[in-house]
Amino acid sequence: MTDKIVVDDVYKIFGPKPELAKELIEKGYDKAQIFEETGHTVGVQQASFSIHAGEIFVVMGLSGSGKSTMVRMLNRLIDPTYGAVRIDGNDITQMSREDLIQLRRRDMSMVFQSFALMPHQTVLENAAFGLEVAGIDRSEREPRALDALEQVGLKANANSYPSELSGGMKQRVGLARALAVDPSILLMDEAFSALDPLIRTQMQDELIELQKQKQRTIVFISHDLDEAMRIGDRIAIMEQGRVVQIGTPDDIVSNPADDYVRSFFHGVDVTKVFTGGDLARRDDAELINDPNADPGSVRDRLSKNGHAFAVVLDNGEQYRGVVTAASLASVNSLADAYVEVEPVDEETPLNEVLSSVAHATVPVPVTNGGGKYIGSVSQQFLLQTLDRTR
Amino acid sequence: MADASQYKLFAFNIGDGVEWLVNWIQTHLPGLLDGIAGVIDFIVSNLEHLLLWVNPLVMAAIIVIFGFWRAGVGFGIFCIVAMLLFFQMTLWPETMSTLALVLASSFVALAIGMPVGVAMARNDMVERIVRPILDLMQTMPPFVYLIPAAIFFGLGKVPGTIATVIFAMPPAVRLTNLGIRQVNEENIEAGLAFGCTPRQLLRKVQLPLAMPSIMQGINQTIMLSLSMVVIASMIGAGGLGNTVLTGIQRLNVGLGFEGGLGVVLIAIVLDRITQTFGTGHSSRVGLWARVRQALGSGGDSQEAGSTS
């Protein structure tokens, strides 16, 4: 995977003498102490990470954590005080104004929390804004803007004014405006935060759908963990201007770096985050790779290895069934001993796996789309996981 | 009683200084003064000739149609009444002369004031310098600068216009500045994020979004120039102000009232019409839509038109 955006030891310090504040940061002072000592506000400090081409990278944090400052340094709406931001290998902090303007017109566009549409322009003119600024003729930019409006389902409203639209529709226009220039990078600053929950979920789905059609590098700012989990390929969590953890949604939920990160999960339903595949384990099951094996020998292996159950697979690791010592008693073939349990798909969210696991007499097998055995979810391990992420 | 001069620190006399400056400008910069006078005379005289050249009935009809189109049926009727009053008072030429003076001085005030307002909005240093000058222009009693205006430009419409410009320009500057500074930060960011140059940002984002405020400034400038009409007539600017002035000099209550009523009517007409330009696209009701709604082919649209 290639790195599209590389943030290299970036600082943003607001105030006339940033070197004073930087010195204190290096001595380990926190934001509040630095403000008290020097009157400088630390926006972002010691930020280093890279964003892969084509991923949705969510930057998450509470208000004041520096996430909005962070995203604005990616297109230099805010100039970093120290450090480098490289896009496709070019350090934008060293770019001339002209090159920067070209970069903004060609490669990146932005979607804003409060939409930031131009009230005096129609929906179509708004969608064409980036193209207009880039000096593209009306005859070319209007079809392209219409295309973008079609992608967000607003083609019919092209001649309306923003004041005539609902919040969700306005943000679709904001999205269309960003898509119309066909950028490789999309910066979304709390883009869905101002929308009501139902519309927000809908927009998230649409964003994921758009991303399937054409992979862009999306940097998405959010304060909402559910949103981050839903759409993020990877998540960076910021606190006090610092990036405290970067990882996939699963990584972060299962191994939070500190109490701050953990505190985000209060009230978050982890059963929506985890899937059957995340909890599947193979180590407590006896694996039988031959559906025609003798039931007696299987029973011997169970008692010898101290396993409560065995999973029967054929040679392609295809799942066949689960047997236990009890079910193996007085049967002639393994197939007759299969316990009644329905395997679940590895993509099934945990909240749908819960009841199968609760009602099954054995750990529930998990398979992938092709029927291959992944592992089993035991009641004990499920409870442990829920307890750990509480 | 103490001598007023006993606390004076320097022999220098402020009044003398100003007098010296006025004399100096008059003797050393006659070309500049003539240039200014030429430009302003050109604008005012031609505008006045144009307004008086058009047949009064045609001119009145144009004003009525404009009022009807921009501000609705009720205001159209008001315009008809106002025009009939002008004819009834036989003040048509004076009215046109005043209108020319007001429009010309508003034009000059805006032509200078709006660019200054833009410069103020974009540069804090400019704002710090310009702001006290605006305070001075607004609080200095207008009679005070009638004197140098008359010295520089003699009597007539030119000094009247210049005095009016000085008096009427500050709101245009202030409201342009304010409007641009109040543009939503995210809209500015959006402009920049999509690659606007500073000039594009001004033209495509800041000015359009500041328009309601700028239109308020234009409206205020026009209103203030109207309020200078009587004062400007003291140095020979003519028009309705002159009618009022004559009324005062002869203690003729009726004449004074007629002149005053004329000024008020022009003020209302100009105010209502210019107000409609500041409210954005929603008030852009087409002339035909107005005609249709007047003919009553849609009660709903009349409702919608009158709320804008």
Nearest by CB to B189, from A77, A108, A130: name it: A77
Spell out which residues of chain B touch residue A110, defining contact as CB-CB under 8 Å: 189-190, 193-194
Mean pLDDT confidence for B202-230: 90
Q: What is the pLDDT of residue A271?
A: 73
Q: What is the pLDDT of residue B295?
A: 61
Spell out which residues of chain B touch residue A75, defining contact as CB-CB under 8 Å: 193
- In the numeric block, which tokens belong to residue B245? 């002035």
Q: A12 — phi, psi (to 5°)? A: -130, 115
Spell out which residues of chain A touch residue B284, defining contact as CB-CB under 8 Å: none
Q: Is residue A90 part of a domain?
A: yes
- What tens digit of pLDDT does each residue of A258-286 get? 888 877 766 666 677 777 877 788 877 88
Q: Is residue A146 part of a domain?
A: no
Q: Is residue A177 part of a domain?
A: no
Domain boundary among the residues A242, A265, A288 is at A265
Beta-strand relationship, A3-14 and A41-52: antiparallel
> What CATH number corresponds to the domain at position A301?
3.10.580.10
Spell out which residues of chain A touch residue B205, defining contact as CB-CB under 8 Å: 118
- Nearest chain B Cα to A101, which residue? B195
Q: What is the pLDDT of residue B238?
A: 83
Distance CA A222, CA A189 (A): 7
Q: Is residue A36 part of a domain?
A: yes
> How many other CB atoms are found less than 10 A from the CB of residue A386?
15
Nearest by CB to B194, from A104, A114, A119: name it: A104
Lowest mean pLDDT: which of B8-17, B164-173, B197-206?
B8-17
> What residues pair up with A151 in beta bridges, in sequence order?
none
Spell out which residues of chain A touch residue B193, defining contact as CB-CB under 8 Å: 75, 77, 104, 108-110, 187
> What residues pair up with A83 in beta bridges, in sequence order?
none
Q: Is residue A33 part of a domain?
A: yes
Lowest mean pLDDT: which of A5-14, A214-223, A308-317, B131-140?
A308-317
User: Is A135 part of the contact surface with chain B (CB cutoff 8 Å)?
Assistant: no
- In the numeric block, which tokens belong to residue B85? 């009053």
Distance CA A153, CA A156 (A): 8
- Is the model more confident about B294 or about A156? A156
Residues A70 and A219 in one domain: yes
Strand A242-247: give its sheet, edge to edge.
A108-111, A185-189, A217-222, A56-60, A234-239, A242-247
- What tens digit of pLDDT does each residue of A138-152 get? 999 999 999 999 988
Chain pair A-B, CB pairs under 8 angstroms: 70
Mean pLDDT confidence for B257-279: 87
Q: What is the pLDDT of residue B2?
A: 61
Q: What is the pLDDT of residue A356?
A: 84
User: Is B35 part of the contact surface with chain A (CB cutoff 8 Å)?
Assistant: no
User: Is A112 part of the contact surface with chain B (CB cutoff 8 Å)?
Assistant: yes
Residues A244 and A302 in one domain: no
Specify the number of domains making up chain A.
Answer: 2
- What tens digit of pLDDT does each residue of A146-193 get? 999 998 888 899 999 999 998 889 999 999 999 999 999 999 999 898
Interface contact flag, A120 B186, Cβ < 8 Å: no
Q: Is residue A324 part of a domain?
A: yes
Nearest by CB to B193, from A77, A121, A134: name it: A77
Nearest by CB to B195, from A104, A117, A120: name it: A104
Distance CA A322, CA A293 (A): 13
Residues A374 and A237 in one domain: no
Length of chain A: 390
Spell out which residues of chain B touch residue A161, defining contact as CB-CB under 8 Å: 281-282
Interface contact flag, B195 A101, Cβ < 8 Å: yes
H-run or E-run covering B7? none
Residues A227 and A290 in one domain: no
Mean pLDDT confidence for A89-116: 92
Interface contact flag, A112 B190, Cβ < 8 Å: yes
> What CATH number corresponds to the domain at position A195?
3.40.50.300
Q: Is residue A116 part of a domain?
A: no
Residue A256 near residue A325, CB atoms below 8 Å: no
Spell out which residues of chain B touch residue A102, defining contact as CB-CB under 8 Å: 195
H-run or E-run covering A72? helix A67-74
Spell out which residues of chain A touch residue B200, defining contact as CB-CB under 8 Å: 133
Q: Is residue A134 part of a domain?
A: no
- What tens digit of pLDDT does each residue of A318-348 get? 888 888 888 888 788 888 888 888 888 888 8
- In the numeric block, which tokens belong to residue A207? 């964003």
Residues A253 and A288 in one domain: no
Residue A135 near residue B204, CB atoms below 8 Å: no
Residues A297 and A254 in one domain: no
Closest CA–CA distance from residue B129 to any residue of chain A (Å)? 24
Q: What is the pLDDT of residue B231?
A: 86
Length of chain B: 308
User: Is A119 part of the contact surface with chain B (CB cutoff 8 Å)?
Assistant: yes
Q: A376 — phi, psi (to 5°)? A: -125, 150
Check whether A387 has a pLDDT greater than 50: yes
Residues A352 and A376 in one domain: yes
Residues A253 and A368 in one domain: no
- pLDDT category of residue B285 using cuts at 50, 70 and 90: low
Residues A260 and A292 in one domain: no
Q: What is the pLDDT of residue A116?
A: 92
Question: For residue A281, what is the DSSP state?
Answer: B
Cα separations (Å) of A35 from A12, A27, A67, A260, A341? 14, 14, 19, 21, 61
Closest CA–CA distance from residue B172 to any residue of chain A (Å)? 21
Q: What is the pLDDT of residue B126?
A: 94
User: Is B183 part of the contact surface with chain A (CB cutoff 8 Å)?
Assistant: no
Interface contact flag, A104 B193, Cβ < 8 Å: yes
3-state secondary structure B20-41: HHHHHHHHHCHHHHHHHHHHHH
In terms of Cα–Cα distance, which of A270, A268, A283, A168 is closest to A225?
A268
- Nearest chain A Cα to B192, which residue? A77
Alpha helices for chain B (secondary structure H)? 14-28, 30-53, 56-71, 73-88, 92-122, 124-139, 142-153, 157-181, 185-193, 198-200, 207-227, 229-233, 240-249, 253-275, 287-294, 299-307
Check whether B306 has a pLDDT greater than 50: no
Q: What is the pLDDT of residue B85?
A: 92
- What is the rounded average pLDDT for all residues in chain A? 88
- In the numeric block, which tokens belong to residue B215? 């239109």
- pLDDT category of residue A383 using cuts at 50, 70 and 90: confident
Q: B151 — phi, psi (to 5°)? A: -65, -45
Q: Say whether the ipTM exceeds 0.90.
A: no
Residues A92 and A232 in one domain: yes
Residue A44 near residue A73, CB atoms below 8 Å: yes
Taken in order of first residue, the domains within chain B and their CATH numbers are 27-278+286-298 (1.10.3720.10)
Q: What is the pLDDT of residue A6?
A: 94
> How many other CB atoms are found less than 10 A from the CB of residue A164?
14
Q: What is the pLDDT of residue A278?
A: 77
Residues A15 and A83 in one domain: yes
Lowest mean pLDDT: which of A94-108, A177-191, B122-136, B263-277?
B263-277
Q: What is the pLDDT of residue B303?
A: 40
User: Is A105 part of the contact surface with chain B (CB cutoff 8 Å)?
Assistant: yes
Distance CA B272, CA A19 (A): 57
Check whether B307 has a pLDDT greater than 70: no
Burial A332-358 (b: 16+ CB within 10 A, else e): eebeebbeebebbbbeeebeebeebbe
Q: What is the pLDDT of residue A267?
A: 62
- pLDDT category of residue B298 using cuts at 50, 70 and 90: very low
Residues A192 and A97 in one domain: yes
Question: For residue A384, what is the DSSP state?
Answer: H
Domain interval for residue A28: 1-107+183-199+213-265
Check whether B308 has a pLDDT greater than 60: no
Q: What is the pLDDT of residue A275?
A: 79
- Nearest chain B Cα to A117, which residue? B187
